[in-house]
Structure 1
Amino acid sequence: MPQSVAIIIPCHNESENVPLIYQELVKTFRDDLTALQAQIWFVNDGSSDDTLQQIKQLQAKDDQVHFIDLSRSFGKEAAMYAGLSTAKADYYAVMDADLQDPPAMLPDMYAALQDGYDMAGAQRIDRSGEARMRSFFSDLFYKFINKVSQTQIVPGARDFRLMTRQVVEAVIQMTERNRFSKGLFSWVGFKTKYLPYRNIERQHGETSWSFMGLLRYALDGIIDFSEAPLTFVSILGIVSFVGSFLALIFIVVRAAIYGDPTAGWPSMVSIFLMIGGLQLFALGIVGRYIGRIYLETKRRPIFIAREIK
């Protein structure tokens, strides 16, 4: 009996891309991965178009197609967790529905696992077709998080990867609500090989990731895998205190020698504004961590499924 692989595909308003990714997967398994039996798991993440209808049409003619219909949009991270925790197979793959993750890479990923690796991931080595500003901030994010976090994330690494069941079981054991999968895949360890490829543009539709959404996602990753922001705030507070103390000594000495015809209010206002700004900045960072703790203590489910079939 051939081994099985579950392909997890989160979908949010991907009605035009669902038939295309299905066709590419069928072709790949028919021509290049005949040793594996495919399970194609579409996770409908609260789509407002006819994505679910497209998936059901595919399932009606192919019993290899399965779906999880979430009760609302929980986000891509929750959708991936839903698929990984629901499907049962020997191997698991995660990929986007927009064909930016080429199914043609799956045979090479499978070959890497046969060579002794536990996980094979895709690493994008260029960002052709992407806005320069987005590429700049993406590169900056990888450089920053790899300096402040003990969990190293390969620059350009995608969520697209093929994993053994052992890796997936380790990932789904981590039940935190605020998930940053690139960090989680790295944190669990295991022997991993990254396969380089050049950027591929979306086939249809617009990405649901806005610049601000990506920025929030990056901040989530930094907060989830590093205490550096808290350390930075502590150092900033010490530097601010020492600077203000030295400035206070200077003002007192100057007033004693030369007098102070302006009664000192400009310098006091400047110091108050500086300290107040630093305090608000520090509270904002600490608040992000406290907010994470607050959400985790609620123990709400990561996703709620309306239908699994």
Structure 2
Amino acid sequence: MNHQPNPLDYRLSLIVPVYNEEVAIEPFLAAINDKLSSIRSHIDIVFINDGSKDNTKYVIDKMIEQDSSISSLVNFARNFGKEAAMTAGLDYVQGDAAVIMDVDLQDPPEVILEFVDLWLTGDYDTIYGVRVDRSQDTYTKRLTAGGFYRFFNFLSAETTLPENAGDFRLINRCVIETVKQLPERNRFMKGLLAWSSLRATGVNFQRPERFIGDTKFNYWKLWNFAMDGITSFTAWPLRVWGFVGFGISLLSFIFLMYIVISALCFGVHTPGYASTISVVLFLGGIQLISLGVIGGYVSRIYTELKHRPIYLVEDVYGNYRNNQQESNNRHHTQTTLNKYSNRYE
């Protein structure tokens, strides 16, 4: 049975991770009030302060006193990354659905109206934003982003990532509760949200330039992010080295037969240094690469086995202050999940 939201009585939570964004908070709230005025009474906002070193915490705390729609400010003890911040947002939201978005307004608030219209039909669990124009990105960024989506979808049989879709999306309560039950510490939220969404659709939008501040991502972080995504959803990089080893062994056997036949027919040849060292270096490189791939998976197993929390909360401001202990317990959602379990029958 489908869980269809009531179009007259619903609550939509905005999950907004922030890191050193003190100058962006007030313009963001002004844009929300302006662009979403028609549904403003249904909206509450949950800010996740990911260990900011500027005055982000104090700016949001001040705005809580002026704007009752800000339901919570969750302050991390230190910087844990955007994936952990989104995880915390899902732990703390109380709405019937949630929208994950950035504070820099590159995720246009007016697109949320299209998200909500589709969600209220009851036909979709997830509505994600799809960038229709990446001309503002550098050629390298467009090339690597497109290559990652295609490579990920080629490797992963059970989870497909829609191309040019970021974290900007609306997810209903069923998806929220499902993701909260996933225990992994190495979190690739795009994949987890895609895996948890039974019915999803996209909404095209033009992503504007960042109006203020600087991006916190660089190519090294994006590379590690991509590796986390691939290793979280497929073991293909591990299995492929068995085929590589078989192929190299076959070529080595063919070369060995050539040497034996050549020696029997034409006499023993003095082996050359160049060919020998080339083969040794090639095989050594293959072994080191395969060990690196195995090491990447082993390190993730090591991280999972330690069972450390995904994030540590220093303090919570707003409506959730009195429920902080319960919210940090990632096992308390089982009862709520059972409430929505008929959605999957």
- Please indicate, yes or no, whether the TM-score normalized by the shorter chain is above 0.5: yes
Alignment of 1:170-209 (within 5 A): 170-209=178-217
Q: Which one is further off, 43-52 or 244-253? A: 244-253
Report the residue type matching 2:298 in the other structure.
I
Q: Distance in 1 between matches of 2:165 and 2:271?
A: 59
CA contact (8 A) 1:128 1:199 kept: no
Q: Which one is further off, 133-142 or 187-196? A: 187-196
After superposition, the Cα gap between the structure-2 partners of 1:98 and 1:67, relative to the gap in structure 1 and judged at 3 Å, is same
Alignment of 1:269-288 (within 5 A): 269-288=277-296
Q: Distance in 2 between matches of 1:139 and 1:38?
A: 34
Taking only aligned residues, the RMSD between alpha carbons, in angstroms, comes to: 1.6
Q: Following TM superposition, by how much is the alpha carbon of 1:28 offset from its aligned partner in structure 2, in angstroms? A: 3.0
- Give CA-to-partner distance per residue, 1:115-149, whole Å, 9 cap, x none: 12122111112212111111111001111111111
CA contact (8 A) 1:244 1:271 kept: no
- Give CA-to-partner distance per residue, 1:251-304, whole Å, 9 cap, x none: 333344444554454433222222211111111111111111110000000110
CA contact (8 A) 2:51 2:77 kept: yes
Within the candidate set 123, 126, 143, 1:119 is matched to 126
Within the candidate set 102, 105, 122, 2:108 is matched to 102
Within the candidate set 141, 153, 161, 1:146 is matched to 153
Within the candidate set 233, 236, 243, 2:244 is matched to 236
What residue number does 1:72 align with?
A: 78
CA contact (8 A) 2:104 2:210 kept: yes
CA contact (8 A) 1:158 1:182 kept: yes
What residue number does 2:333 align with?
A: none
Report the residue type matching 2:191 in the other structure.
G
Tell me, what secondary structure is at the counterpart of 1:22?
A: helix
What residue number does 2:166 align with?
A: 158
> Are 1:62 and 2:67 counterparts?
yes
Report the residue type matching 1:61 in the other structure.
Q
Tell me, what secondary structure is at the counterpart of 2:11?
A: strand
Tell me, what secondary structure is at the counterpart of 1:23?
A: helix
Q: Which one is further off, 58-67 or 176-185? A: 58-67
Report the residue type matching 1:140 in the other structure.
G
Within the candidate set 41, 46, 49, 2:46 is matched to 41
Tell me, what secondary structure is at the counterpart of 2:110?
A: helix
Q: Which one is further off, 36-45 or 70-79? A: 36-45
What residue number does 2:25 align with?
A: 18
Report the residue type matching 2:93 in the other structure.
A
CA contact (8 A) 1:139 1:155 kept: yes
Q: Following TM superposition, by how much is the alpha carbon of 1:248 offset from its aligned partner in structure 2, in angstroms? A: 2.2
CA contact (8 A) 2:36 2:109 kept: no
Q: Distance in 1 between matches of 2:92 and 2:260?
A: 69
- Give CA-to-partner distance per residue, 1:41-92, whole Å, 9 cap, x none: 1111111222112211211212221211100010000000011101212121
Q: Distance in 2 between matches of 1:269 and 1:134?
A: 38
Q: Distance in 1 between matches of 2:9 and 2:269?
A: 89
Report the residue type matching 2:83 in the other structure.
E
Q: Distance in 1 between matches of 2:267 and 2:104?
A: 71
Q: Distance in 1 between matches of 2:217 and 2:86?
A: 16
Q: Distance in 1 between matches of 2:67 and 2:285?
A: 60
Percent identity of paired positions between Structure 1 and Structure 2: 35
Segments of structure 2 that go 5 or more residues without pairing to the other structure are 1-7, 318-345
What residue number does 1:128 align with?
A: 135
